Amino acid sequence: MTAPSPTARPPGVRPRWLLAAPVLVTVAALIVVPYVNILVMSFRVPSTTKPYLPGFTFGNYTKALADPDFFYFELLFDTLRLALTITFLCLVVAYPVAFHLARTTSRWKGVLYALVLSPLLVGVVIRSFGWIILLANNGLINQSLKAWGMAPLPLMYNEFGVVLALVHVFLPFMILPLMGAIQGIDPRLEEAARSLGAGPAKVFWRVLFPLSMPGVQSGCILVFVLSCGAYVTPALLGAGRVHTMTTEVITLLDQFLWPFGAALALILSVVGLAAVAIYARLSGRLMRGLA
Amino acid sequence: MTKLKLDGLQKHYGTVAAVKGIDLDVAEGELVSLLGPSGCGKTTTLRCVAGFELPTGGRITFDGNEVTMLPPERRDIGMVFQNYALFPHMTVRENLRFGLEMRKVDAASMERRVADVLGMVQLTSMETRYPRQLSGGQQQRVALARALVIEPKLLLLDEPLANLDAKLRDEMRFFIRSLQKRVGITTLYVTHDQAEAMVMSDRIVVMFDGLIHQVGGARDIYDRPATRQVASFIGLSNFVTGRVAGRDGSLWRLETSFGTISCGAGIAPGAGSPATAMVRPEAIDLSAAPVAGAFPGRVSERFFLGNLVDYRITMSDGTLLQVQQPATAAFAPGDEVHATLPAERAWLVRDDAA
Amino acid sequence: MKGGKLLLGAAVTSVYVFLMLPIAIVVIASFNSGKYLKFPPEGFSLRWYANFFGSQPFMDATLLSFVLAVVAAAVATVIAVPAALYYVRHAGRWRETFRMLTLAPLLLPEILTAIALLFFYYQIGIGTKSALGLYLGHVVICIPFFFLQVTSALYNISPSLEEAARSLGATSWTSFRRVTLPLIKPGVINGALFAFIISFDNVSISLLLKGVGTTTLPMQVFDYLRWDFDPTTAAASTVSIAMTLGAVILVDRLVGLRAMRY
Ligand SMILES: Nc1ncnc2c1ncn2[C@@H]1O[C@H](COP(=O)(O)OP(=O)(O)OP(=O)(O)O)[C@@H](O)[C@H]1O
Ligand SMILES: [Mg+2]
């Protein structure tokens, strides 16, 4: 009997990678290949009558980034600005809730947790719809204002409405990681800081917030990425008057300008991912500095 | 009953060598413990025998039949895990029946065997409980019962008592040992607790860094350790280094810087070569008056341990010896003493560090 | 200190109100008799529900959404459960790469995935003529959620349980069937629930991949909202919420209580 080779398998044991095969095939066929395809597509020559004309070009990218009146450049900038605003607002609004949820000993904790989760069970369309009923020109708020003899406010068809609704849509994605991070912080650390003479504000900025950075980071990245790619809410609450990269890309698709749409979509993803990477670097340094 | 044999067993994880080639024979009905510090490869060895790891070299045989590459379910072993690994979704009874069902045992004998084993581990009344409804010690006994009910060729236990409190651990040592003797099953027992290994085993295998340093009974290992590591892992010891001066029958003379001592040895060092002798603290005798063959020293520290007094003796050359004497003997720090290192309690060890 | 607590309480309460408000508003609007929701409400009426249930397009869309979600969840089960097993128990050097690939549909913007799939389908000639593309799109976005659920369930059971089963003579398949599967069943059912909800509520994928002349419930609501305001959509939304809630309660009955047994 020779020494068994390390790769030999006992008889009757099926190769384990068979377990991985279905997901790998699916992801390869429905993610990897289509994304490579869209990359190739973005270098095609656009046409309004068929998917694309023969030949390859950088034209889609130069048009998007070096267009003389900077239309798409500004659009990209607006999209990122909107995403940043939403991320920041989500962080500010989510933090107290996450803190409360992480620390409460109330017997309602389960119910409160379910309340945070439950909006996720309701589709984005429906949640946007709720905001439309509230914010529309003849919506609940403006009708009430009118009834009380006040001038109606422009609440929808502008960035305000879009940001408000998106903050609502993405809030759970901020609360959950924050809560996880805060739960991992020993409450005695806060007490220790208090005993050392730090006031509540100091305790927050010097102890709680730095220690919750991992949660802040995951929450912010998640919300930022989701905001960059949001389509339904801007389309419904912006109703053609708030433009983002995604609404523009869909419009281009309707006009059959696929290669150009592909280029725009890829630019948005790359810029979004780059922003995330920079942010992760920065906050990584911050975390190390405070650790 | 089954003989277990390991031949040059090796296990590498990538570049990490966990087991570096070990040979071991376990006789029918024998309980052998694998003892050694954390990370020395005990669990890896056991898991190779069980079939959860495939060795990267060497072979394993049960009664001369090679099982090296056999999957665990075809080895006919019973295993007790450190965390018990009781199936949480099955009752005690269902846990016990699991292995019998795998063997397609008929219903009547299944009932009988489950009842017998439950009786053996004194858990007859707990049959319908779920594992989480049992105490740690009871879970431990269910795990043992589940491994035994299939009447395996071999019983394997990996630190089965590590999760129990000290008192229960003591009781379970004797319980497992007497059960093992009663059933007469060949057993491999992993532990890093030397007292446990000494109480329970027929023989102890002492491992360091993937290699076996010594195999022997508790006495052998305590009084005649093969290597310096074995001696320091088990109990307390003094190491005295020197040069081999010669041999008188079965004893060797070791020339140290405080005098020449005689000692036994399991190795045969050449005359003039450096060597290390091991002497247990309780083997050294102290007296106030000079005695033939004793070496002068001075008490530098004294600790009272209840049944014993623990001294640090500085010898003429500055060597520090640890000596334990019954609490009746009384020397004070600063006292002149004479230390006798009896030849039959001094032992030359292999010392790779020297 | 007291003031701070009070402030925190007020802030937290208002966030909860903020979270629930638009959803509650939709439900209320669906029972409102007038076309526009006013305060105070004009009266209770089921006429929007009558509209909804009487509308063939809405009924077709609801049926398609339901079937789509069930099929997507079922297919995702077959793909994601083995993947989770592989990742937790067997994956070696490529472990993290494997995880990233599996989670890719979640990490990439959904709308971009939809665009990529749309182009791809046209390139290979399926286009959106058949519903196959839509089904595949839904399966692929369900996988990550399912995978995460099953992975965490697997992490919660010790690998030594499977080893114990093997040591007792069970083959790897038997030990999976008799030990692992019963223990991760809550995770699998939760995963299926997640997949169902993700698919049932999805718009981005359906927007681009729905076949000609077919539509899903959220898509139908979306289209209505873009062109006109009609409280029938509020009824449709409420029905959709009720269906998701029904799925959650069903699952809770199935595993929520059973899981308490051990
Ligand atoms: N799956 C693995 N991959 C890589 N290295 C491993 C693996 N399993 C064990 N090792 C290494 O092999 C060596 C032996 O490990 P083993 O678990 O056998 O030790 P042990 O003697 O049982 O220790 P302990 O008393 O702590 O349980 C260790 O250095 C360990 O880090
Ligand atoms: Mg071990």
- Return the best residue to mutate from B9, B11, B12, B16 for the ligand 1 pocket (most ligand atoms within 8 A of CB): B16
Q: Give the model's pLDDT for residue B4.
A: 95
Q: Is A4's CB within 8 Å of B66's CB?
A: no
- Structural domain boundaries in chain C: 48-260
Largest CA distance in chain C: 71
Residue of A99, A111, A129 for testing the chain C interface, max C β-carbons within 10 Å: A129
Q: Give the model's pLDDT for residue C165.
A: 93
Question: SS3 of B99, please?
Answer: helix
- Give the distance (Å) from ligand 2 centre to CA of residue A14: 28
Nearest residue of chain B to residue A14 (CA atoms): B71
Residue type, B261: I
Q: Give the model's pLDDT for residue A12.
A: 44
Q: Measuring from atom 3 of ligand 1, which residue has the nearest CA?
A: B13
List, in sequence order, every residue forming a beta bridge with B287; answer none if it has no partner. Answer: B338
List, in sequence order, every residue forming a beta bridge with B350; answer none if it has no partner. Answer: B227
Segment among A198-207, B300-309, C48-57, C108-117 with least mean pLDDT: A198-207
Residue type, B310: D
SS3 sequence of chain A: CCCCCCCCCCCCCCCCHHHHHHHHHHHHHHHHHHHHHHHHHCCEECCCCCCCEEEECCHHHHHHHHCCCCHHHHHHHHHHHHHHHHHHHHHHHHHHHHHHHHHCCCCCHHHHHHHHHHHHHCCHHHHHHHHHHHHCCCCHHHHHHHHCCCCCCCCCCCHHHHHHHHHHHHHHHHHHHHHHHHHCCCHHHHHHHHHCCCCHHHHHHHHHHHHCHHHHHHHHHHHHHHHHCCCHHHHHHHCCCCCCHHHHHHHHHHCCCHHHHHHHHHHHHHHHHHHHHHHHHHHHHHHHHHC
The separation between the first and the last C-alpha atoms of chain A, rounded to the nearest angstrom, is 57
Laid out side by side, the sheet with B4-13 consists of B16-26, B4-13, B57-62, B65-66
What values do phi and psi take at C107, rounded to 5? -80, -30
Cα A62 to the center of its chain, rounded Å: 27
Please tell me the distance from the alpha carbon of residue B325 to that of residue B288, in angstroms, as a whole number: 13
Q: Domain C48-260, what fold? A: MetI-like fold (1.10.3720)
Token pair 């790469």 is at which residue? C97
The DSSP 8-state label assigned to residue B121 in this structure reads: T
What are the structure tokens assigned to A269, written together? 């993803």
- Structural domain boundaries in chain A: 70-290
Name B127's Cβ contacts closer than 8 Å, sequence gap at least 6.
B91, B92, B93, B114, B118
Please tell me the distance from the alpha carbon of residue B163 to that of residue B168, in angstroms, as a whole number: 10
What are the structure tokens assigned to A33, written together? 């290949």
Average pLDDT for residues C64-90, to the nearest whole number?
Answer: 92
List pLDDT tens digits, range C169-200. 999 889 989 999 998 888 888 888 888 888 98
Residue length of chain B: 354
Please tell me the distance from the alpha carbon of residue C231 to that of residue B321, in angstroms, as a whole number: 94
User: Is pLDDT above 50 for C261?
Assistant: no
User: Residues with Cβ within 6 A of ligand 1?
Assistant: B 13, 16, 18, 36, 38-44, 192
List pLDDT tens digits, range C123-158. 888 777 778 889 999 999 999 888 988 888 888 888
Q: Which atom in ligand 1 lies closest to the alpha carbon of residue B159? A: 27
Q: Give the model's pLDDT for residue C2.
A: 62
Task: Give the residues of chain A that fall short of pLDDT 50.
Answer: 1-12, 289-291
Give the model's confidence band at C39: pLDDT under 50 very low, under 70 low, under 90 confident, else very high: low
Looking at CA atoms only, how far is residue B354 from chain A in angstroms? Answer: 35
Cα B200 to the center of its chain, rounded Å: 9
Token pair 């971009």 is at which residue? C112
Angle, helix C132-155 to helix A17-27, in steps of 10 degrees: 140
- Could you say which of C25, C120, C204 has the minimum Cβ distance to residue A133? C25
Cis peptide before B342 (omega within 30 of 0): no
Percentage of the residues of chain C whose pLDDT score is greater than 90: 21
Please tell me the distance from the alpha carbon of residue B47 to that of residue A113, in angstroms, as a whole number: 43
CA distances to B51, B82, B209 from B156, rounded to whole Å, are 11, 11, 21
Q: Is A115's CB within 8 Å of C16's CB?
A: yes
ipTM over 0.95: no
The helix or strand, by DSSP H or E, that contains position B354, with its residue range, turns out to be none
List pLDDT tens digits, range C236-250. 899 988 888 888 888
Smallest CA-to-CA distance from A161 within A135, A188, A187 is with A135
CA distances to B72, B160, C180, C247 from C256, rounded to whole Å, are 35, 33, 18, 12
What values do phi and psi take at B335, rounded to 5? -65, 140
Q: Is B87's CB within 8 Å of C172's CB?
A: no
Q: Measuring from atom 24 of ligand 1, which residue has the nearest CA?
A: B38
SS3 helix, strand, coil % of chain C, rounded to 5? Answer: 80, 0, 20
**How many Cβ pairs closer than 8 A exist between chain A and B?**
30
List, in sequence order, every residue forming a beta bridge with C135; answer none if it has no partner. Answer: none
List, in sequence order, every residue forming a beta bridge with B234; answer none if it has no partner. Answer: none
Question: SS3 of C200, please?
Answer: helix
Smallest CA-to-CA distance from B45 within B211, B225, B229 is with B211
The predicted model scores a pTM of 0.75
Q: Which atom in ligand 1 lies closest to the alpha carbon of residue B47? A: 18
Q: What is the mean pLDDT of chain C?
A: 85
Please tell me the distance from the alpha carbon of residue C63 to that of residue C215, in angstroms, as a whole number: 10
Task: Give the residues of chain B that fall short of pLDDT 50.
Answer: 354
Residue B86 with chain C: CB contacts under 8 Å: 164
| Ligand 2 (single-atom ion) residues, CB below 5 Å | B 43
The DSSP 8-state label assigned to residue B129 in this structure reads: -
Please tell me the distance from the alpha carbon of residue A130 to that of residue C25, in angstroms, as a whole number: 6
**Interface residue C156 vs chain B (CB under 8 A):** no
Give the model's confidence band at C257: pLDDT under 50 very low, under 70 low, under 90 confident, else very high: very low
Q: What is the CATH number of domain A70-290?
A: 1.10.3720.10
Cα B160 to the center of its chain, rounded Å: 14
Q: Give the model's pLDDT for residue A197.
A: 67
The separation between the first and the last C-alpha atoms of chain B, rounded to the nearest angstrom, is 44
Q: Which atom in ligand 1 lies closest to the alpha carbon of residue B45? A: 18
Q: Give the model's pLDDT for residue C262.
A: 39
Please tell me the distance from the alpha carbon of residue A103 to that of residue A187, in angstroms, as a whole number: 8
Question: SS3 of B17, please?
Answer: strand
Contact C84, C246 (CB under 8 A): no
- Return the best residue to mutate from B33, B40, B159 for the ligand 1 pocket (most ligand atoms within 8 A of CB): B40
Please tell me the distance from the alpha carbon of residue A290 to that of residue A206, in angstroms, as a whole number: 8
Contact B239, B48 (CB under 8 A): no
What are the structure tokens assigned to A222, written together? 């998640």
How many other C-beta atoms lie within 10 A of the C-beta of residue A195? 9
Residue A34 with chain C: CB contacts under 8 Å: 113, 116-117, 119-120
- Give the distance (Å) from ligand 1 centre to CA of residue B16: 9
Question: SS3 of B251, please?
Answer: strand
Q: Give the model's pLDDT for residue C253.
A: 79
Nearest residue of chain C to residue A19 (CA atoms): C82
How many other C-beta atoms lie within 10 A of the C-beta of residue C10? 11
Looking at CA atoms only, how far is residue A6 from chain B in angstroms? Answer: 5
Q: Give the model's pLDDT for residue A8.
A: 42
Residue C200 with chain A: CB contacts under 8 Å: 123
Contact A131, A237 (CB under 8 A): yes
Token pair 């003479």 is at which residue? A197
Please tell me the distance from the alpha carbon of residue A39 to that of residue A31, in angstroms, as a whole number: 12
Nearest residue of chain A to residue B14 (CA atoms): A6
Q: Is A12's CB within 8 Å of B55's CB?
A: no
Q: Is A143's CB within 8 Å of C140's CB?
A: no
- Measured over the CA atoms of residue C76, residue C77, residue C79 and residue C85, the dihedral's sign is positive
